[in-house]
Every structure is written in structure tokens, then in C-alpha cells.
């Protein structure tokens, strides 16, 4: 097998359906820490021009903290190029795809809603909802934990945005369609039952675009304006009467353009739900696969904060993020030309031997823990406080209510080279019966 064939595995979504290729990442960190990766066609999706992949912790941090050299704005932050110049102009309006100073203007709106203080005030709500979700299944003795935990990020985002709880299924479907588009089970997600939605939700659902292709045969990009018509209709309807103090109220007062407003809603509704939705079941699977650490945590609840950081290091919810070289530069001994794509790989950086002693060992007492699961630099995830609160809440409820928790079958991973997620995690535990 050629080097090109091996490194192409880094790109292929099917690779991650089998598991994150940590052994390959280790080899590349050692021998090709910055290397060229091909983008072959995958199913109906056309090939791309290829990209530079960055695997070492220090290099990943350098890329993420250097927007003047590695731009989020030039080509946006998704590995796949937008289909048209119009699509690129549209996605550039989101905070994720801005460089300073424009990024800072949009980030201040997010920061005003997701301050550590605001998250602390939300923690009681999050803990009550996490406990309710676990209590709902506690007497059954078995469940698919992905289904149990998936509601918490949706309910949390609905609370933050002021979305009526009965419309939460819309958030679930939007996230599946947009983030899980490489997986056939998620690409056409349609779980929102019209009879359970508000009139506002039903109106949006009626505008949901059917999966289709462009005249040249390419699928419509799930992040394009035409693919998001139902989401944006809902966002504008919700903004007409925003809940006092909600993110929607802050966005309405923030002086955003129409595109900026729509993409800010996109950011909250999709990115805000996907990180904890991937991290929570991934964290539990990691604990189940390390029973000694699970037992230690049961006996020492004070370790929950450090355990959460170690779970995030060991199971980062996002595989990669893209930048585009704003000028010719050198990284890892390789010349990167202006305009070329550069992708940093979080799972590899989190297992770098140069940054973490014994990096493949899962250790809930590990400290310090300089993982990059929430990014680094100006684009450090503004929802990190919220994601951590949800992880802590679910973990506490599991420790309290599900004794003897263990696997009840093989987990099923999401087919995605972007999201490190699970579709199913069957578990069982002891009950009082």
C-alpha cells in the first residue's frame, strides 16, 4: 500500500465509522507531522484538490492561534469547499468563518449569552433535565444511551434560544442533516412529527427541502442557503417574538445583517448541540472501556471535573477544522502556498507524546490537561462552559442512578470525517427488580 493510499484514509468518512485511526495518527506525527492528503470522490460527492493535514499538538495550536497566516475566512472552516462563490460568501458570514476583527464583533454577541456566570445559572436546569432523562430509563435496566443523552443538548439549546420544547425535534433534524450528511442514516433525518410541533414549527417543516442534486449532478451542499430554508424561516419567526433574555433577543438587538443573523442561529442550533451530543456518549463509552477508572470515579466524585477534561481529550467531539493559508508559509518543514487548505486534527493533537505523558492511557486524575478539543486561540469554542456542564450533569446522574452499568452490545459509530460521534450505544445496569 502506497503512502498516498494510507494517508487518504485520514480523509475518508468510512475510516471513522470503524474508529479514529490513532495508530495511523501516531505514525504520521512521528514521520510526516504536516503532510499532503488527497480528497477522492466519496459516493455522490465530487473529489477535492487535497489539503495539508497537521497532526502535532504544537503545530495545531500554532495554526489555530495565527489567523493572519491561517485564515478561517478565505475558504471557510469546513474541509469540503463550498459549491459556488455565492455559497462561500454566504457561509463566510458566520462567526466560525470570520477572522479578527470581524470575528470579535460577532463573538461578543455569543459571549454575552454564554458567559461562565450565565452557564452557572443554567447548571441547575441542566442537572434537573439530565437527571430526568436518566430517571426515565432507570427502571428498564437497559437502553441505547445515545438516545437517552441526545435530548439534553437539544433541550439545553432550546432553553438558551427560547425555542418551545415541542419544537426541539427540529434542532435534532437540522443537526443530523447538516453535520451528519456523510452518513446515510442522518442525511435525510426526519424525526419531527408535525402534530407535535407549534404552528411556527409546522410552517418551517413545510419548507424543508427534499434531498436533491444540482444540474451538474452534484448534491446540494447541506450548508448552503437553499438547503437551510426551513431553519432560516423558523429563525425569523422566532425572532419576531423572542423570549426575554434569550439569545434570540440578544441577536435581534445586535445589529446583525440578515445573513449574519441566519448564520448565528445556525451556529447555536447546530454547532451548539453537536459537541455535547457527540461528547456525552463518547465519554460514557470511554468509561465503560476503562472499568478501573470508572470504579475510581464512583468512589471519588471530586474527580469529576478532571475526568470531564480527560474524557474530552480521549474522545474529542470534532475530528478536524480547516483553515486556508493567507500567505506562503512553512510548517513542519513543508512549504504551504497561499490559498491551500490546511486541516488540524484534534484527536491526533490530543494524543501527542510531546504534550501528554503516556497519551494513550485514559486517566481521570490527569492534570494538567492541555487538550484542544474545544479549539485554541481566537476561535476557542464559546460554548465550552455549556458543554462541560452537560457532561458533568449526565455523569453525575449516571453514577447515582445506573449501578453496574456495562455494555450490552457493540456501539455503532457515525460515518463522518468531521464529527467523532456514536449512533448507538447499547448499555445495561442493575435494577431493584
Per the listing, cell 510548517 goes with: 331
User: What would the pLDDT profile of 55-92 be if each residue is shown by its tens digit?
Assistant: 999 999 999 999 999 999 999 999 999 988 999 999 99
Q: Output the CA angle 130-134-139, nearest 5 degrees.
A: 160
Residue 433 lies in a domain: no
Residue 96 lies in a domain: yes
Instruction: Considering only residues 430 and 247, tell me which one the structure prediction assigns the higher pLDDT.
Output: 430
Helix/strand/coil for 207: coil
Residue 139 lies in a domain: yes
Q: What is the pLDDT of residue 3?
A: 45
CA–CA distance, 189 with 211 (Å, rounded to integer): 10
Range 321-336 average pLDDT: 97
CA–CA distance, 250 with 262 (Å, rounded to integer): 14
Top-confidence range, 217-226, 250-259, 381-390: 381-390
Range 34-39 average pLDDT: 94
Give the end-to-end CA distance of the chain in Å, rounded to a whole number: 55
Average pLDDT, the chain: 92
196: its cell numbers: 407535535
Residue 309 lies in a domain: yes
Contacts of 427 (CB under 8 A, 6+ apart): 142, 143, 144, 145, 284, 288, 402, 405, 406, 407, 408
Query: Does residue 196 carry a pLDDT above 90?
Result: yes
Q: What is the pLDDT of residue 212?
A: 66
Question: What is the extent of the structural domain holding 325?
Answer: 3-428
Residue 396 lies in a domain: yes
Number of domains in the chain: 1
CA–CA distance, 365 with 411 (Å, rounded to integer): 26
Contacts of 241 (CB under 8 A, 6+ apart): none
328: its cell numbers: 506562503
CA–CA distance, 296 with 364 (Å, rounded to integer): 8
Supply the CATH number for residue 136's domain.
1.10.630.10
Range 33-39 average pLDDT: 95
Query: In which band, very low, low, confident or very high, does the pLDDT at 109 lie, cut at 50, 70 and 90?
Result: confident
Q: What is the pLDDT of residue 388?
A: 94
Q: How many Cα neighbours within 13 Å face the side chain of 353?
A: 10
CA–CA distance, 80 with 270 (Å, rounded to integer): 18
Range 298-325 average pLDDT: 97
User: What would the pLDDT profile of 4-21 be if each residue is shown by its tens digit?
Assistant: 445 789 999 999 999 999
How do strand 142-144 and strand 412-413 relate by DSSP bridges? Answer: unpaired
Query: In which band, very low, low, confident or very high, does the pLDDT at 433 lie, cut at 50, 70 and 90?
Result: low
Q: Looking at the DSSP assignment, which residues form a beta bridge with residue 54?
A: 34, 344
Amino acid at each position: 500500500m502506497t503512502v498516498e493510499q494510507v494517508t487518504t484514509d485520514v480523509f475518508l468518512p468510512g475510516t471513522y465509522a470503524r474508529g479514529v485511526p490513532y495508530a495511523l495518527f501516531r505514525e504520521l506525527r512521528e514521520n510526516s507531522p504536516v503532510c499532503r492528503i488527497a480528497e477522492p470522490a466519496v459516493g455522490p460527492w465530487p473529489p477535492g484538490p487535497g489539503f495539508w493535514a497537521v497532526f502535532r499538538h504544537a503545530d495545531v495550536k500554532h495554526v489555530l492561534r495565527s489567523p493572519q497566516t491561517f485564515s478561517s475566512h478565505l475558504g471557510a472552516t469546513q474541509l469540503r469547499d463550498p459549491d459556488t462563490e455565492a455559497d462561500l460568501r454566504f457561509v463566510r458570514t458566520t462567526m466560525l468563518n470570520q477572522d479578527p476583527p470581524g470575528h470579535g464583533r460577532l463573538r461578543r454577541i455569543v459571549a454575552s449569552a454564554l458567559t461562565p456566570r450565565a452557564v452557572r445559572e443554567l447548571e441547575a436546569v441542566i442537572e434537573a433535565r439530565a437527571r430526568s432523562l436518566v430517571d426515565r430509563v432507570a427502571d428498564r435496566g437497559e437502553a441505547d444511551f445515545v438516545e437517552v443523552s441526545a435530548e439534553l443538548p437539544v433541550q439545553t439549546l432550546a432553553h438558551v434560544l427560547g425555542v418551545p420544547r415541542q419544537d426541539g425535534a427540529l434542532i435534532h433534524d437540522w443537526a443530523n442533516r447538516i453535520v451528519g450528511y456523510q452518513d446515510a442514516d442522518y442525511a435525510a433525518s426526519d424525526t419531527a412529527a408535525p402534530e407535535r410541533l407549534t404552528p411556527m414549527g409546522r410552517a418551517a417543516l413545510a419548507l424543508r427541502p427534499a434531498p436533491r442534486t444540482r444540474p451538474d449532478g452534484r448534491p446540494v451542499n447541506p450548508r448552503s442557503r437553499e438547503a437551510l430554508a426551513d431553519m432560516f424561516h423558523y429563525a425569523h419567526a422566532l425572532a419576531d417574538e423572542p423570549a426575554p433574555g434569550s439569545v434570540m433577543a440578544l441577536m435581534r438587538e445586535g445589529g446583525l445583517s440578515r445573513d449574519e443573523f441566519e448564520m448565528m442561529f445556525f451556529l447555536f442550533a447546530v454547532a451548539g448541540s453537536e459537541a455535547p451530543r457527540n461528547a456525552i456518549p463518547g465519554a460514557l463509552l470511554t468509561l465503560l472501556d476503562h472499568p478501573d477508572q470508572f470504579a475510581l470515579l464512583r468512589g471519588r466524585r471530586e474527580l469529576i471535573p478532571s475526568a470531564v477534561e480527560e474524557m474530552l481529550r480521549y474522545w474529542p467531539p470534532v475530528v478536524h477544522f480547516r483553515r486556508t493559508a493567507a500567505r506562503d508559509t512553512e510548517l513542519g518543514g513543508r512549504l504551504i502556498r497561499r490559498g491551500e487548505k490546511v486541516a488540524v486534527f484534534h484527536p491526533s493533537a490530543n494524543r501527542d507524546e510531546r504534550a501528554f505523558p503516556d497519551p494513550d492511557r485514559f486517566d481521570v486524575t490527569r492534570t494538567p490537561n492541555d487538550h484542544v478539543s474545544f479549539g485554541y486561540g481566537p476561535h476557542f469554542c464559546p460554548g465550552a462552559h455549556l458543554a462541560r456542564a452537560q457532561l458533568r450533569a449526565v455523569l453525575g446522574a449516571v453514577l447515582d442512578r445506573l449501578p453496574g452499568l456495562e455494555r450490552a452490545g457493540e456501539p455503532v459509530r457515525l460515518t463522518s470525517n468531521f464529527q467523532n460521534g456514536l449512533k448507538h450505544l447499547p448499555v445495561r445496569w442493575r435494577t431493584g427488580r
